[in-house]
Structure 1
Amino acid sequence: MSEAITVSVRPDSVAVLTFDQPGSKANVLTRELWAEFGNALAALDRRTDVKGLVLASAKPGIFIAGADLKLLANAPGPNDPEVRAFIELGLRVLEQLEALPFPTCAVIDGAALGGGLEVALACDYRVCGTNSKVQLGLPEVKLGLIPGWGGTQRLPRVLDMNRMHHASDLLTTGKNLNYQEATAYQLADVVVESSILVEPAAYHVLRIDRKERRAWKLQPLPKNNWKAFKPNHNVAGAAAEAVRVMIEGAALPLYDAIKLETEAFMRLAGSDESKRLIAEFFASRKK
């Protein structure tokens, strides 16, 4: 089987892991891609010559488009063991990414949506290109779902000082941000010309304090960030669940918070509402 991931190490000791799923216009997070990603990270973890990691995509206009929706569309109902195994596989790989002994950076020059953005959120640093196709978002609510790979918890931990408000807005509307908006929200750390993306990403990844960034992300958010936050009570369904999990998780260490997210996701995945919306999404793409 053709490999979807290649890894090279630059002279400055920065590894570049490139996603390029064969036979597909987009990189999609299937079980196979998650497994290959995890194996690649395990191999990098064992290397003593690597000082930083850059995640990139060879697909024009796309970083990672999101999860394999076919598996979710075919779930017989909520709390399906196969769906849980799929979600937990991705969570384990992102924990691997977050535990690497060197800093990490996602290079985004196109769509980083749903699970694609969740991969980027698990990195220590995010660089956006100037491509007009750059979109960062968590559109799961449009499919009757919430993010399942830590998005409800990592998102508010990396955003600007209006983190709860901005995270709530993104989670409940499913809207996408361009590179200017992503930078304003501090979802992207820096914007560089698309033609030179990897070079500045490698420069920055060698100079960031991964320990400080991870310590902030792994611990509960300060009480003043979430205690007084008033959610919009006009939202319902998956949107309301996303905000509830976000707020409750803010008071917990990251991986405990993600467990709340997983259980909420499992109640929604495979529901009649979610399967109907996923079917409508597939139908709209055929038109």
Structure 2
Amino acid sequence: MSAIQYQKDADNIVILTLDSPNQSANTMNADFREALEVTTTKILAEKEQIAGIIFTSAKKTFFAGGDLDELIQATPEHATEFFNMIESMKVQFRQIETLGVPVVACLNGTALGGGWELALGCHHRIALQDAKAKFGLPEVTLGLLPGGGGIVRMVRLLGLQTAFPFLMEGKQFGVEQAVQLGLIHDTASSNEELLDKAKAWVKSNPKSQQPFDVKGYKIPGGDPKTPAVAQVLAIAPAMLRSKTKGCYPAPEAIMAAAVEGAQVDVDTALRIESRYFTELATGQVSKNMIGTFWHGLNAIKAGESRPKNIEKWQATKVGILGAGMMGAGIAYSTAIKGVPVVLKDVSIEAAEKGKAYSQKLLEKRVSRGRMTAEKKDQILALIQPTADAKDLQGCDLIIEAVFENQALKAKVTEEAEQYLVDGGVMASNTSTLPITGLAQASKNAKNFIGLHFFSPVDKMQLVEIIKGNETSDETLARAYDFVQQIAKTPIIVNDSRGFFTSRVFGTFVQEGMRLLAEGVHPAKIEMAALKAGMPVGPLAIQDEVSLSLSEHVTNETRKALQAEGKDLPKSPVEDVIAEMIHKHKRKGKAAGAGFYEYPSDGKKYLWEGLSHWQKDHDISEQDMIDRFLFIQAIETLRCYEENVLTSVVDANVGSIFGIGFAAWTGGAIQFLNQYGLDKALQRANELENRFGARFKAPELLKKHAQSGEPIR
């Protein structure tokens, strides 16, 4: 069966129904390209007998976009072949677009990427009135650019400045906004009305062309030579570089293709776009990002790490112990998905304060038109603040989110667990304490598990699920299902001190403070981290976490290890933290002073007193960048080698979404793969020789460097 069904009605209107075989959604795969060539040839042969062309879809959505399985295979050796393939497809689209007859897109649902580009190639776009439908060009989020004419047409229809956020940030929009932008010309309430309106428009516009193909057409707002636009473009590249730090080639390529394309005719602009697209598609960064943000996330969504053959489960009533920032955030994230929540704290006032956090977030949504006041009230009604443990009766999941103290966690677990339904799950939101040890306070260790949320919970998508030594597969499956039920991304790790994310996150922050102790200027440290691709510098993050908490965790860890007959060697980082806290009274952001100053009426800035640590050093910026990336990648690989992590997908996704590892790399283990494993081993050895044993290459890296096989 062809991916494009060709049908001509009694009025000589050709209806092209998109229906990719063996797929639930239409994509620009080999089947589509073959069908497009056949269809275009037929249209050109019959053009004298064609009154108009209408694109429709047989799928639930209009068109999903490019075939990422194909795109990830493109390498620099394929560049010429790839470029010619893209150009051939665009020529065919352009032949239909410039035929002279009206061309209409009937958008029966979402059209993203290549699907939206196909729609933009039509003269008239009608969309089904569907609140869930999304349109746009999200390619930049995968290290790519819209290569099917999306840049050229969006710029010509909207103007450079209006188009930039949709192109360079991948912003998506619904039907209502698309109508306001003039990108959707009409709407319909049913598929039948959609087709009827399309046919009516064809009949009313027997001669049609794109507005930008009309002689004398001017790009809205002006082309790059227009003074107002030229003024913006003079600083735009520098502003963009300040955001990307040179780590992400896609936004820069998009800006270049848009600006260059706006100065030439449409066909030349399309060719410019294809060249930039080919460069990105055959480059490494897009492969890193597609591998993790598409294939990796889809594998997690499909439950690849979830125990098999266990029935799907949904929580019906969730108890949360502790209404502080974490507990309040978990309550919000649970209630907004329609699950009743009992939010318990030591006093009703504290519990009410925790509920007020949800009220504040929901009111912000209402004020921005993203939620009705009625819906806000319904969600708030699902959160029951209380100081009485008996209100937990009937919960099938209770999550403890109190302070990181084993005795306190044991106390609240013993108090709350009795109110769980039979077979209910007891979970701890600890970020460092081993789950097997915490489970000792439980009467049923097989039903005890770790659910490590990240702050702020309403924004952070990752949840690290920690399996204790006695945690059952059924409990693990239920925890996985709950995380997905509240629309978060689960990764599974085995029990150990610090688990995966806290353990690796700690190496990044500590490396920043080591550099400070070595005499590097703090601004250089922060900038090197940003240039590595980290979203925030290590000193700023340490302030957010609080120096006091880090000191407490280190002391507790040392005590626990000493009880096991082990020791935690002292590092220069401890001296830095101790001096900051006890000598300078600087405990972090919450205390109003840390590595940064926090003026009430302005932006934070680095504390001048940090000059105390400055001295001569011979560390280059690249050394610092590599130290930040390699220390995290090596520690992640150790976690995998030690079976703390059981999946490379979980390692890559978890490192980006949990600790902010440089997204351009595709994740901590993919960083090593894409660096070249033999080169990564060599660099790790160099770092170990110069900076210490913490950079010692794990055996797994040596093994894969020798075999040449990627770590998968």
For the criterion TM > 0.5, the same-fold answer is: yes
**Residue type matched to 2:124 in 1?**
Y
Indicate if the aligned counterparts of 2:98 and 2:209 stay in contact, CA closer than 8 A: no
Please state if 1:59 is matched with 2:72: no
Do the aligned residues in 1 keep the contact of 2:112 with 2:138 (CA within 8 Å)?
Answer: yes
CA distance in structure 1 between the aligned counterparts of 2:89 and 2:156, rounded to whole angstroms: 19
Residue number in structure 2 paired with 1:215: 213
Once the two structures are superposed, the pairs formed by residues 1-287 of structure 1 within 5 Å of their partners are 2-47=1-46, 48-60=48-60, 62-77=61-76, 80-159=79-158, 163-195=159-191, 196-208=193-205, 209-211=207-209, 213=211, 215-216=213-214, 221=219, 224-226=222-224, 227=226, 228-229=228-229, 230-231=232-233, 232=236, 233-234=239-240, 235-236=243-244, 237-280=249-292, 281-287=294-300
- What SS does the aligned partner of 2:222 have? helix
Match of 2:545 in 1: none
Higher mean C-alpha displacement, 3-12 vs 19-28 = 3-12
CA-CA distance at 1:223 after TM superposition: 7.8
1:225 Cα deviation after fit: 4.3
Q: 2:116 touches 2:136 (CA, 8 Å); kept in 1?
A: yes
Q: Which has the larger displacement, 231-240 or 137-146?
A: 231-240
Give the Å deviation of 1:132. 2.9
Contact 1:218/1:255 (8 A) holds in 2: no
Distance 2:276 2:263 in 1: 17
Q: Distance between the aligned counterparts of 2:63 and 2:124, measured in 1?
A: 16
1:82 and 1:166 map into 2 onto residues whose CA distance is 33
Q: Which has the larger radius of gyration?
A: 2
| Mapped partners of 2:11, 2:140: distance in 1 | 41
1:78–1:271 Cα contact (<8 Å) kept? no
- Displacement of 1:268: 1.2
Letter in 2 for 1:215: D
SS at match of 1:80: helix
CA RMSD of aligned residues (A): 2.2
CA deviations 1:126-174 (Å, max 9, x no partner) are 1111123321111110111111111111112223xxx322210100111
State the alpha-carbon separation in 1 of the partners of residues 77 and 277 from structure 2. 9
| 2:76 counterpart SS class | coil
Cα deviation for residue 14 of structure 1 reads: 1.6
Question: Residue 282 of structure 1: SS of its match in structure 2?
Answer: helix
State the percentage of identical aligned residues.
28
The offset of 1:210, in angstroms, is 1.4
Count of matched residue pairs = 282
Asked if the contact 2:2–2:31 (Cα under 8 Å) also holds between the matched residues in 1, the reply is no
Kindly indicate whether structure 1 or structure 2 has the higher relative contact order, using CA contacts under 8 Å at least 6 residues apart: 1
How far apart are residue 221 of structure 1 and its match? 3.4
Asked whether the 8 Å contact 1:157–1:216 carries over to 2, the reply is no
Contact residue 63 and residue 111 of structure 2 kept, 8 A: yes
Post-superposition CA distance 1:61-118 (Å, at most 9, x none): x111111112221122376233223312221221222122411011112121111111
Aligned CA distance change for structure 1 residues 140 and 40 (closer, same or farther; 3 Å): same
Distance 2:210 2:121 in 1: 14
Q: Return the alpha-carbon distance in structure 1 between the equivalents of residues 105 and 65 of structure 2.
A: 15
Give the Cα separation in 2 of the matches to 1:52 and 1:4.
20
Query: Structure 1 stretch 6-15 or stretch 22-31: which is displaced more?
Result: 6-15
The answer (yes or no) to whether the contact 1:79–1:267 under 8 Å persists in 2 is: no
Comparing both structures, which one devotes a greater share of its residues to helix? 2
Change (3 A) 1:23 1:73: same
Cα deviation 1:30-66 (Å, max 9, x = unaligned): 1331221221122123223320110000101x11111
Between the aligned partners of 1:79 and 1:243, the Cα distance in structure 2 is: 24
| Contact in 2 for aligned 1:128/1:191 (Cα 8 Å) | yes
CA contact (8 A) 2:79 2:279 kept: no
1:266 and 1:107, CA in 2 relative to 1: closer, same or farther beyond 3 A?
A: same
After superposing the two structures, state which structure 1 stretch, 199-208 or 139-148, moved more.
199-208
Change (3 A) 1:172 1:108: same
Question: Measured at CA, do residues 248 and 85 of structure 1 come closer, stay the same or move farther in structure 2, by a change above 3 Å?
Answer: closer
- SS at 1:206's partner residue? helix
232-241 vs 62-71, which moves further: 232-241
Give the Å deviation of 1:256. 0.8
List runs of 5+ in structure 2 lacking aligned partners. 301-712
Deviations 1:167-202 (A, max 9, x none): 101001112111111111111111121332111011
Q: Partners in 1 of 2:102 and 2:125 — Cα distance? A: 11
Q: Secondary structure at the match of 2:43?
A: helix
TM-score (norm 1): 0.90
Distance 1:257 1:110 in 2: 29
Structure 1: segments with no counterpart, 5+ residues: none
SS of the aligned residue for 1:123 comes to coil
The whole-number CA distance in structure 1 between the counterparts of 2:216 and 2:65 is 23
Kept after mapping to 1: 8 A contact 2:117/2:149: yes
Deviation at 1:20, TM superposition (A): 0.8
* Aligned-partner residue type, residue 254 of structure 2: A
| Structure 2 Cα separation of the partners of residues 72 and 218 of structure 1 | 37
Amino acid in structure 1 at the alignment position of 2:123: D
- In the superposition, relative to structure 1, how do residues 57 and 217 fare at CA in structure 2: closer, same or farther (>3 Å)? farther
**Other structure's SS at 1:127 match:** strand
Letter in 1 for 2:222: N
Q: Is the CA contact 1:72–1:83 (under 8 Å) kept in the aligned structure 2?
A: no
Mapped to 2, the partners of 1:218 and 1:31 lie a distance apart of 38
**TM-score, length basis structure 2:** 0.38
Q: State the one-letter code of the partner of 2:297.
A: S
